[in-house]
Chain A
């Protein structure tokens, strides 16, 4: 029987960060709790925050379940995460700057050339180009799990366009509305500065050719996209335009936005679309999507694209193994946050180990995301394991495996009352003139008893995440 670290209880004793929540639970009988839960759902519905789940059919406007029980970090716990996440974000950006430049880390033999240069996410089109301030990934989402009081592991990095930050902000907003006394009784660090920090981060990477206050816009694929709510929410909070590709055009070496007062020059694009759909002239000649000529303007320093095209080569699951090495190589520091031990199925020895131990491992597709195409050995049937074995044997390069981690739990409101459920954490690190991290993040919770999969596409929920001020 695996022992899971419970973030609130040590035996019967309440751990210090959660002390302020004990009386709150006691004062909440079942009826009140149900009423509050209904109230929370109504609030989420009213603001319209929903999440379409790909490939599952059903209601595209389904709400991600919100659990009212907050997840809490003490200040000293957070300080370590803060330093660790920022360190990682700096190393990942240094790596991107390097592999699109001289490739020192490859020349030094610290990362195999094949993994970098033959990576599908490596963009020739931006090789030799250094974006403003040398920053490629301006918003780095680092997925963390906890296995003990002082044990945190990085599951994966998201250097392209990590989503979910709107939940961090809305969860807090709703908790404050429903339980104002909690925020009077506890000193909780605010997260609502995120939008202004994001705006400042984007403004700080305006291209050299921009000689005035930069004009910023968020580029969205449109309202059919599952994260459209977040795109419009962030545009709103930052006070910038929300645009689709058809609203933009290229002329005279710049990108222009069509407005009712005529074309307006655009300096920074926070894009929430994939590289492949940025510019048909560069990436997909068969596609009419995107802004033709955008990449030429980008490459000549007429506009900044955040995150930079090609940033994906840093968050590939095969590259992930080398992030601690990046920290040592570029920063000359020891990594503060540990990686999960990872087996590359493309290596013969690793493959053998993985196939021999499928029942105990978590196996993921190298380019997969959202909890799709993965096997959680201990939670799978014999048939599921055998079916997955065949898939790995067909294309070993496409899979990595990790031990099944004993994810920490936090108390969660469930049908029967309060019960421990497994959680993870995604903080959002902003990288511009400064590297900043709002104290908090998105806590995802596996609502099914015993489940270790927290992805919202797999029935996970979300929680407000508190960092206690000193």
Chain B
């Protein structure tokens, strides 16, 4: 599938700020499921800084903006050819040992209920892949999609207790469940092309990857009850949503920040 992306993020401040610095993970991952035809990341009036590929294989680029400034505008434009690998992250180069993704973070600590979901999924499953599918299905069942109920800092356990949430909560809950059963898991951020069937999810999306022996990293998207396919563009990963954030930034000054994001994905007819 040939997908075009237009993604604009605007941070507005109610008074002039002294300067801003950003660390961007806004570049499509390099693996067999994605082929980048064009990709441009730009911070308006910004100075491009250091760039490197981190241990998880993600490209990171630093930017800075000199003040005084009233807004920081990050635009992403590009075209990616995608293929359906049934969620398998084939051909992705990375350095971090899978075991490093067993460590808990505040957002992904498993409580008794999450442990139970994992134990139930594992019991009577036909191998790791089957167990992972069962976990993802159980999370999808336990947490209904509903925006506005949870917030950026809601933990996996809290979302499960609320039984409602968004893709971030689904991903956190699946990660917590898997790690509690000794399966390395991580948070993935990216884009999702929502086709005409009226899927309500935003184009800026997130899901989880589990490390399964014999397969390596495999994506699971409980929010959509599937594994990432050609409708998905993968950007980067981390221990949880905060760690995998596509944009990390800070503006120095006393102003209050207001965020405005627009993402548009389109499929190009071939």
Contact = CB atoms under 8 A, between A and B. Distances in A.
Interface of A: 100-101, 103, 106, 113-114, 116-118, 120, 122, 124-129, 249-254, 280-282, 285, 288, 292-293, 295-297, 299-302
A89 to B, nearest CB: 25
Contact of B96 (A127, A250, A293, A297): A127
A126 B54 CA distance: 8
B250 A296 contact: no
A281 to B, nearest CB: 5
Contacts of B52: 129, 296, 299-301
Given A117-B103, A250-B64, A253-B62, A296 B55 contact: no
Contacts of A118: 99-100, 102-103
Contacts of B250: 280-281, 288, 292
Contacts of A253: 48-51, 62
A134 B64 CA distance: 29
B97 interface: yes
Nearest to B53: A128
B122 interface: no
A234 B18 CA distance: 33
- A interface, over-half SS: loop
Contact of B55 (A126, A282, A292, A297): A126
A128 to B, nearest CB: 3
Contacts of A120: 103
B64 A124 contact: no
A293 B55 contact: no
B190 to A, nearest CB: 19
Contacts of B60: 296, 299
A249 B96 CA distance: 29
B50 A296 contact: yes
11 contacts: A101-B95, A127-B95, A128-B94, A249-B64, A250-B62, A281-B21, A281-B250, A293-B64, A295-B23, A296-B49, A300-B50
B99 A117 contact: yes
Given A288-B250, A293-B64, 9 more contacts: A116-B99, A117-B97, A117-B103, A127-B55, A251-B49, A253-B48, A299-B50, A299-B54, A302-B50
B144 interface: no
B242 interface: yes
Interface string B19-58: 1011100000000000000000000000111111011100
A149 B81 CA distance: 72
Given A113-B97, A281-B250, A297-B62, A128 B54 contact: yes
Which one of B49, B54, B62, B242 has the highest number of Cβ atoms from chain A below 10 Å of its Cβ?
A: B62
B117 to A, nearest CB: 22
A117 B60 CA distance: 22
A281 B23 contact: yes
Chain B, interface residues (CB within 8 Å), range: 20 to 34
B97 A293 contact: no
Nearest to B242: A285
Contacts of A302: 50
A302 B60 CA distance: 14
Interface string B236-255: 00110011000011101000
A281 B100 contact: no
Given A113-B97, A117-B102, A296-B49, A281 B249 contact: yes
A117 to B, nearest CB: 4
A295 B55 CA distance: 13
Contacts of B97: 103, 106, 113, 117, 127
Contacts of B239: 124
Contacts of A296: 23, 49-50, 52, 60-62
Contacts of B48: 252-253
A101 B95 CA distance: 7
Contacts of A106: 97, 99
A113 B49 contact: no
Contacts of B242: 285
9 tightest A-B CB contacts, nearest first: A128-B55, A128-B95, A127-B55, A300-B50, A296-B62, A253-B50, A117-B100, A292-B21, A117-B99
A128 B55 CA distance: 4
A385 B54 CA distance: 47
A128 B50 CA distance: 17
A142 B106 CA distance: 33
Contacts of A100: 55
Contact of A252 (B47, B54, B61): B47
Contacts of B64: 249-252, 293
Contacts of A122: 100, 103
B66 to A, nearest CB: 8
Nearest to A106: B97
A293 B62 contact: yes
Which one of A252, A253, A296, A299 has the highest number of Cβ atoms from chain B below 10 Å of its Cβ?
A: A296
Interface in B96-149: 96-97, 99-100, 102-103
Nearest to B60: A296
Interface in B64-94: 64, 66, 94
A297 B50 contact: yes
A124 B100 contact: yes
Nearest to B103: A118
Contacts of B94: 128
A101 B99 CA distance: 14
A113 B103 CA distance: 12
B259 to A, nearest CB: 14
B21 A293 contact: yes
B241 to A, nearest CB: 11
B54 A125 contact: yes
A288 B64 CA distance: 16
A13 to B, nearest CB: 56
